[in-house]
Amino acid sequence: MFRSIRIKLIFFFLLAVLTPLLVMRLIAYPTARKAIHETTINNLQLITSKKAFLLNDRLKKYGEMRNISQKTLLWLLLFV
């Protein structure tokens, strides 16, 4: 199969180097992918809850301003 010692050494060196890399890729990649996925989902949920809170706060302020403007208009119509 192999004719020279040089080709044998290159083949075994590549085998010795690439085997641990392949094993680490098979083990570490799914773990890292799952961690990144969970972190992303968590961050998106936090952003969603913060935006919902800000929107509710703004709608409350809008309702208060609407009540004030209606009372002011009524006051102006009745007393001016």
Indicate the domain borders of the chain. Answer: 1-80
Tell me what the mean pLDDT of segment 17-30 comes to. 92
Tell me what the mean pLDDT of segment 31-42 comes to. 96
pLDDT exceeds 80 at position 8: yes
Would you place residue 31 in the very low, low, confident or very high pLDDT band (cuts 50, 70, 90)? very high
Average pLDDT, the chain: 87
Alpha helix stretches (DSSP H) within the chain: 5-79
The closest alpha carbon to 15, from 27, 4, 23, 25, belongs to: 23
Tell me what the mean pLDDT of segment 46-72 comes to. 85
Tell me what the mean pLDDT of segment 66-73 comes to. 72
pLDDT for the residue numbered 16: 94
Cβ proximity of 25 and 17 under 8 Å: no
